[in-house]
Every structure is written in C-alpha cells, then in structure tokens.
Structure 1
Amino acid sequence: MATPNLTIVVPCYNEEEVLPETVFRLSAVLDALIADNLIAGTSTMLLVDDGSKDATWALIESFHAANSFVTGLKLAKNAGHQSALLAGLMKAKAYSDCVVSIDADLQDDTDAIREFVVKFHEGFDIVYGVRQDRSADTFFKRATAQGFYKLMTALGVKIHYNHADFRLMSKRTLDNLEKFQEVNLFLRGMVPLLGFPSTQVYYDRKERFAGESKYPLRKMLAFAFDGITSFSVTPIRFVTLMGFLLFILSVFAGIYAVVGKMVGANVTGWTSLIVSVWFIGGVQLLALGLIGEYIGKIYKEVKQRPLFVIEKDLTEQASNAAQTSLLQDSSPAVQTASGRRYGP
C-alpha cells in the first residue's frame, strides 16, 4: 500500500483555551507518523470552527500561517457538533486517503491515532476508538451513558458500545457516507451502516485539558433523543402497543361497570374516574408529542436545507499538495518534519 495521506478533522467551538495544546499534540503525532513512513508528508489536520464566539478562528488562522500541518474551515454560524464534523469529513475526503476525527478537548487519546493508522494499513476501512472503561466518570454520567447504549441496542440500532466520534475512516467509506442525505445527523449510528471492514482500538479517556464541556446534560439528553428517534421507529410502535393495551383494559372496565350496574352495586367512582382521566390524558399527550417529534424530523428532511455553510476555507494548500503528490509517479519519500514550526 502506498503511503496514505491522512487528515485529522477537529470540530472546534469556543476552544481558545485548549486549541494551542491540541495543535501541538496533533502536530507531534503527525510528525512521528511521517517520520515512520506510516503517512504521507502532505498529511494535515483540519480545524473546523463551528461558529465560535471567542478567538478560536483567529488562533486557527495564526497556526495556519506558522504551521504547515494546520488547515481550517470556518462555518458561517454554529451548526452543531455533528454538522461541523461532517463538514470537515466531506472537505477532507477530497484530498485524503483516510481521515481521523477527534474532539478538540484532548479527552480522546491522541497516541491512539498511530494504532488507527496501523489498522488502516492492515486493510480496515473503519477503526473505532472505544473507551476501556468509565471508572473516571461520575455515577450519574456512567449510568446514563451505559443506559443509552443498551437502549439503542435494544431498539435495534447498530452502535458500538463506549464509542463516540473518535474514529478513522477511509476515503471510500466517506464517499459512501456522503450518499446519506440525512438532515438529522447521528454519525455514531450512520457509520456502522456502511458495512465496510472495521475494527476497534481501545484507549483510556482523559479529563478535559482546559475550558468547559460543550455538552451539558441538556445537550446530552437532546443528542440521545435525536439518536433514538433518527434510527428507530420502536418508540412509536410502543405507543401503538400501549394504546392497544389500554383499549383492552377499557373493555374489561366497561364490562365491570355494566355488571355492577346490573347487580345494583353502588358505584361512587369519582376518584377512579379522575385518576383514569388524568392517566389517559397524559398518555395521549405523550403519544402526540412522540408522533410530533417524528413529524418534525420528516419536516426537516423534506426541506433539504444545507447542514452547514462554509464562510472561510484554508484547505486549498493541502488539496494542491495532495494532488501534486498523486501526480508524481514514484514511491513517496520518507519525510520528517524537523523543519516544521508548531506548538502553543
């Protein structure tokens, strides 16, 4: 296999505190992989600014000017983590043989990228980064995360346990991912649907290097709910089943009432009536809300609005370098990055 051109895609939202260290560590990873002839010397990292309100884009531009590894995309507005990640993947696939996606917070182990590339050389198109364990998480976060993965599996969604968006994908998998014209993105569920040869690399997740988490509880719950409703109709089937069971119960309740009337039983029934009315009303509202959620997703899909709008693009240099490398009909030379400048 020819030495592949690798791009590391990093979605960034208000990451000015951690970005210098992120660029430093990823540059060191690329430098070492190039020196070991595991990737081409034209390999880069692509920092995607997802409409940040701080100095994230200014830092990306400054690193791009000083560090030949760094390229960047600036989205016109905040499109969300999944859309920003997809924007980077679709841009990078045009000039890359394989792409690694990783968050900017440095919680995912950058040293695992080497093992990703080794697995790619072994013939795997998708390499999933999977956490060894969740012992460092709080009890609540661990319980909710594990519950989410188990629920998704129970609903019939093919998803890798303890895997987020830290993965390697080959060019052909990205070409096929582009055919998925979904507006409601849940890449953790979409990527396994591709079906190409895949494997897993286990790593230990670390504490965030700096800054604050961009996924508070509210966003985590919304993300989980999006994943469930985007990949499974089981919840809406559950509503149908619940309606059928309530209908059966109402038949028995009706028979009981008629029999009671015939035998002259004194039925007061006020408490049971009120309880049943509130219960049935709550179930109906829940069912309507769930149906509305699915209809809302259909509404978003049929409009076919773009998931992101690119305001600025710093990838032209990387694209030209990759094309020049392909035009050279010779084996790639081993390149080191001793002359490169990078760091915070």
Structure 2
Amino acid sequence: MTLKSVTIVIPIYNERDNIYVLKNAIHKIFAGLHYKYNILYVDDGSSDGTPGILAKVSQFDDRVEYVSLSRNFGHQAALKAGLDMADGDCVISMDGDMQHPASVLPLLLKQWEEGYDIVNTVRLEDKKLSYFKRKSSRLFYKLINHLSEFEIRAGSADFRLVSRKALDVICSLNEHDPFFRGLVSWIGFSQTHVVYQADERSFGSSKYSFKKMVQLAVRGITSFSIRPLYVAIYPGILISLMSSLYIPYALYSYFAGEAQPGWTSLIVTVSFFSGLQLMLLGIIGMYLGKVTNEVKKRPVYIIKESSLTKIANFI
C-alpha cells in the first residue's frame, strides 16, 4: 500500500533557535503516523544566521528541505514560496515560532482523511495576551468580515491543511499581493476547522508589530472587496457636514459687511467638499496602487538558495 505524502511548509524570519525544536516536535508526531512527510522551511531574508542553520539541518536530515529568499518579502510571500514548491498529497502550513503546536497535526490529517479539502484552525483566546492585543485581534476580524464579501473566523491564522486539489487552484491564482486567509475562503471546496490552544514561544519574540497587523488588515480588505469605496462616502459626508458648521459664520460675516466679495462662497464651497474629496481620493489611490503592482507582474518572491534539487522559476 502506497503511503500518502505530507509536506509541512514553515515560513520563518529570524527564528534560528526554534528550528531544531520544531523539527524534532514534528518528527515525534509523525513517528506515530503512517505517512511519508517532509518539512520545507522558507527563510524570509533572516539576518540572524538562519540560512546557515537550515543548510546544516537539511544536510544531515533527509526529511528537511529549505528555501532562502533574497530578502524579506513578508510572511505571505514566503508562505506562497513554500506552497508553490510543496509536492505532498496535502500541505500543512504553520509558523516557526512554536505557537502552532505540532500536536494538532494528527487532527488536521484526520479531517483530511474524512474527505475535507481544507482544514483550517481557530485559536482559542489566550488570556495572557494584553488587553490591547486581544481587542485589536477581535477588531481585525470584525472589520474584515464587515467590509469583505467572505467570512474569516476570529482566531484564524495561516495554520491549516490544504489538499493537493485545492492547493493547485491556490497556486494558479498567482496574485502579487496574496492574502491566504481570504484566498482559502474564496476558492470554496469542502472546508472545516479544528480549535487549538497556542503554545508558548520557546525562543525569540513576536515579529508581528501593530503596524504589520494594520497592513495585513488593509491587504485583506482591499484584496477581496470594493466596499471601502462605498463606505468612504459616509465618513466623507460626515466630515463635510461637520465642516459645514463653518458656513453660518461665513454667512454672518457676509451680511454684517465684514467679508470681502467672493470670500463667503469660496469658504462655503471649500469647507463642504474638501473632507469628502480627500477621503475618496485616498481610498481610490490605495486601490489604484494595488492595480499598478499587479500590472507590473514583478515576482512575489526571489529565491537566493535552496536545498531542493530542482527549482522552477516560481513567481
């Protein structure tokens, strides 16, 4: 009987101390499972010596491969690089900071064996996180679900299993600015989820700053919905109404003879339309920028080196 194959894709950035720990944890889990498997690390331009460690690990462990990108392209680009080169019957993506526990892998595989093409994960809320972190996370999912045309469960992450059939579709999309939580929901297929409790970091600190969280939210919203173009109208109108409070003063100055000819009409017009125009132009500009990046057709990532024996020009 031919064993099914599994590829575990792990994008990492400055996680040198977690490489061995995570690799050993995965080996321990698969020792009790009947699958062929390999681990594919994707180094996203690390500056802490990660590529050298990956080269050494892959040399002595034939189940470990690595790809090193030429610079830091971002988590989603690194994830795409791994998915493009994964060759398993199914692919499991997970972070390299040990917060996605290897103990969940059998649960994902069990759901796959039951016929699901995509098995997502939902993280239980960690009470140890700061109030701001928990609140901003909830706000992220509420905002993206309200503005987008699909739903992402709160607590979702890029920790999931994808079948070969679904993965081929995802890789064929080849978007310049991919947002995989949205793409996975958008393509459909049979999907389910499992819940898990995030583990503590073994080493290092989180690389996801508040700025990166905001950038991820903007990417998700603008990649899958044009609703912000409509929503922009409402705050624009509100700003215009608030600025119109200046109109009574302008009229008073006019009738009191204190205004120069033409001043009143100019002030009223500028006050009313400036807020609306600036809001709309900003959001339209954001969408135009995304279109410009797509038209350029630049590679999503560039490979500097790899342990894989054969690499196509993936972009």
Aligned-partner SS, 1:8? strand
Question: What's 2:65 paired with?
Answer: 71
1:96-245 matches, within 5 Å, as 96-155=88-147, 156-243=149-236
Say if 2:83 and 2:171, in contact at 8 Å, map to a contact too: no
Deviations 1:113-142 (A, max 9, x none): 110011111111100011122323211011
Question: What's 1:3 paired with?
Answer: 3
Q: What is the alpha-carbon distance in structure 2 between the residues aligned to residue 213 and residue 82 of structure 1?
A: 16
Question: What's 1:60 paired with?
Answer: 54
Aligned-partner SS, 1:316? coil
Higher RCO, 1 vs 2 (CA within 8 Å, ≥6 residues apart): 1
Deviations 1:202-222 (A, max 9, x none): 100122221121111111111
Question: What's 1:311 paired with?
Answer: 304
Deviations 1:240-277 (A, max 9, x none): 345567778999998x899x78xx9759899xx98996
1:286-305 matches, within 5 Å, as 286-305=279-298
Question: What's 1:51 paired with?
Answer: 45
Q: Structure 1 pair 216/105, CA: closer, same or farther in 2 (3 Å)?
A: same
1:266-285 matches, within 5 Å, as 266=256, 281-285=274-278
Question: What's 1:16 paired with?
Answer: 16
Deviation of the 1:31 alpha carbon = 2.2
Structure 1 segments, 4+ long, off by >3 Å, are 240-254, 264-270, 273-284
Say if 1:30 and 1:44, in contact at 8 Å, map to a contact too: no
More displaced 10-residue stretch of structure 1: 83-92 or 22-31: 22-31
Aligned-partner SS, 2:150? coil
Q: TM-score, normalised by structure 1?
A: 0.79
- Which amino acid is 1:153 matched to? N
Deviation of the 1:21 alpha carbon = 1.0
Aligned-partner SS, 1:297? helix
Deviation of the 1:196 alpha carbon = 0.8
Aligned-partner SS, 1:159? coil
Aligned-partner SS, 2:208? coil
Q: What is the alpha-carbon distance in structure 2 between the residues aligned to residue 285 and residue 66 of structure 1?
A: 58
Aligned-partner SS, 1:105? coil
Q: What is the alpha-carbon distance in structure 2 between the residues aligned to residue 24 and residue 274 of structure 1?
A: 69
Say if 1:158 and 1:193, in contact at 8 Å, map to a contact too: no
Identity fraction in percent: 37
Deviation of the 1:97 alpha carbon = 0.1
- Which amino acid is 1:62 matched to? K
Question: What's 1:336 paired with?
Answer: none
Q: What is the alpha-carbon distance in structure 2 between the residues aligned to residue 303 and residue 212 of structure 1?
A: 35
Q: TM-score, normalised by structure 2?
A: 0.86
Aligned-partner SS, 1:165? coil
Q: Structure 1 pair 248/145, CA: closer, same or farther in 2 (3 Å)?
A: closer
Aligned-partner SS, 2:85? helix
- Which amino acid is 2:64 matched to? V
Deviation of the 1:73 alpha carbon = 0.9
Deviation of the 1:70 alpha carbon = 0.7
Aligned length in residues = 304
Q: What is the alpha-carbon distance in structure 2 between the residues aligned to residue 72 and residue 267 of structure 1?
A: 77
